[in-house]
Chains A and B, each alone.
Chain A
Amino acid sequence: MDKTSQNKYFSSVFDKKTMMNRFMNDAEIACGVVRVFLTDTPRQLSLLQDALKDKDLETATRIAHSIKGAAMNVGGLSLAKLAAAMEKDGHEKHIPAMEEKLGQMKKNCHDLIGILQETFHIKDIP
């Protein structure tokens, strides 16, 4: 991936301006929310994976819905979009489509976590 494509990709993964506007440019609040996101979202993804493995459609849809909300809070645009699409699949009872999106969501979440750690200078995830 060249530099321009990489920048484009990163800006689709994380929208700092939108996030900071959401928290009235209060770095303390933003950082507090990011810390919670860094701890909780990987756990949610793992629960989502388990729910899909168990074909538990209701739980999987609810977790996708939660991840969508969490990602929107930290400016994670593409993760929010993926989670929204997965939630829609869930409402349509389309488990294979949900399973297909899981890999992409994990990759996206991994990238978002990296960018957030770098932006907010968080070395260790609590």
Chain B
Amino acid sequence: MKIQDHSILVAEDDLTSRTALQLTLKKWGYAPLIAEDGEAAWEILQDETPPRLLILDWMMPRLHGIDLLRRIRSNKLESSFYIIMLTTRDSTEDIIEGLDAGADDYLTKPFNPGELRARVNVGFRVLGLQATLEKRIRELQKAVEHIQTLQGILPICSFCKKIRNDTGYWDQVESYIAKHSGTRFSHGICPDCLERHYPDFADEVRGQ
């Protein structure tokens, strides 16, 4: 797993709660990135490789965690995120609102360290599965594109049988197929070509 895979974005305005989370996550081997409010967290998410697991407080200055959550889910960002709401708001209505807004998990403060750790682990497990799935989908899309190319009409030279590739150059048939399908070729001589290019040897073979 890469280093950024262990990073966790913590958005919490209260310094004491923030320190408690930061020290606890560090002790478990994670790399917490800290934001003091929702807007600061949003800025961090604009990075090229932002943390994929987020722990958000509900009530913060500038931008509340719940509003940040809605912003993330409505913006369809390229990366997928696993978001845990960590808040003192513990009513059933709040939990429903948090999950409806797009939270993957909901924990109430003060947190039980064992529970938080278990839920963070679940988050990383889900992110890992998601990454594997995304990779498989990309591979399948690529394969489908190759098949479509092979199934389409190929411009082929009537004499030498070279194929015009996507960039306008003419490739040998075998190199074109190898490039687009991953097929490997072994070279031999068919009886007709043997007759044409090596008639003596063809006679000998026929005699045997």
Contact = CB atoms under 8 A, between A and B. Distances in A.
Contacts of A22: 20, 110-113
Nearest to B17: A69
Contacts of A28: 23
Given A37-B16, A62-B59, A62-B61, A72 B23 contact: no
24 contacts: A22-B111, A22-B112, A22-B113, A24-B24, A29-B23, A29-B27, A32-B19, A33-B16, A36-B15, A36-B19, A37-B16, A41-B16, A62-B59, A65-B59, A65-B88, A68-B88, A69-B17, A69-B109, A70-B16, A70-B17, A72-B109, A73-B16, A73-B110, A74-B16
Given A23-B113, A68-B88, A40 B20 contact: no
A69 B17 CA distance: 6
B14 interface: yes
Contact of A40 (B15, B59, B112): B15
A104 B194 CA distance: 105
Contacts of A40: 15-16
A36 B113 contact: no
A66 interface: yes
Interface of B: 13-17, 19-20, 23-24, 27, 57, 59, 61, 88, 109-113
B22 to A, nearest CB: 9
A32 B109 contact: no
What's the interface size class on A, roughly?
20 to 34
B23 A66 contact: no
Most central of A29, A32, A41, A84 by chain B CB within 10 Å: A29
Contacts of B61: 62
A118 interface: no
A2 interface: no
Contact of A32 (B23, B110, B111): B23
Contact of B20 (A65, A66, A73): A73
Contact of A33 (B20, B27, B88, B112): B20
